[in-house]
Chain A
Amino acid sequence: KAGVTQTPRYLIKTRGQQVTLSCSPISGHRSVSWYQQTPGQGLQFLFEYFSETQRNKGNFPGRFSGRQFSNSRSEMNVSTLELGDSALYLCASSLVKGYDYNEQFFGPGTRLTVL
């Protein structure tokens, strides 16, 4: 079974531009979560999508948005990029079947550099 994939793996943008990152979950997984990882702030939760609906949202400005498609693939978008948006963006998927614990599996991340 293929793992969580993220595209692109590396991205360089300039301030003011916008960017879209993609995450394909493990087949059958319905939940996709996004995290931002920076040396200064560590790992911070951005948002989580389940069945095309945003269920949880972290404390990030409205420039950060996301969506999920019917095949559970998810995209996140950052508009009006700032230097501080440079980070490793991780997504994680989980099965979410019933009320039992479901492990989250992480992708390799997209390394975004804003110049």
Chain B
Amino acid sequence: AQTVTQSQPEMSVQEAETVTLSCTYDTSESDYYLFWYKQPPSRQMILVIRQEAYKQQNATENRFSVNFQKAAKSFSLKISDSQLGDAAMYFCAYRRTNFGNEKLTFGTGTRLTIIP
């Protein structure tokens, strides 16, 4: 079974600074997706960024980028120029790529606080 581990229950960062959230996972599959989801307080979960395991290039979405280390099974999220709106729970998630499998396996989450 696949597992996802987030070892940082809470993180804080000064506004405009950079923060990195950590995630490790375990799988025997060679192809899969990895995601970072954001869940703001009392608001819907939204997708921040996606990485396909077969791609060596790290995904980037504006201020959000990942460091994907396949051999180490590590998938960290870097948030640059942190903004107050980035405050949320962040979940790392894994999904197999086979058709017909929409199941996401989530980590326990990291609560990110932005300090003004």
State the A residues within 8 Å of B (CB).
3-4, 31, 33, 35, 42-45, 48, 50, 55-56, 58, 90, 92, 94, 96, 99, 101, 103-104, 106-109
Separation in Å of the A114 CB from the closest CB of chain B?
Answer: 20
Indicate with 1 or 0, residue by residue over B85-116, a CB within 8 angstroms of chain A CB atoms: 00000010000010111111111110000000
Could you tell me the dominant secondary structure of chain B's interface residues?
loop
* Number of B positions contacting A (CB below 8 A): 21
Q: Could you tell me if A50 and B100 are in contact, using CB atoms closer than 8 angstroms?
A: yes
The CA-CA distance from A48 to B101 in the complex, in Å, is 9
Separation in Å of the B46 CB from the closest CB of chain A?
Answer: 7
CB-contact partner of B102 in A48, A90, A109, under 8 A: A48
Question: Known contacts A42-B108, A101-B50: does B44 contact A94 (CB below 8 Å)?
Answer: no
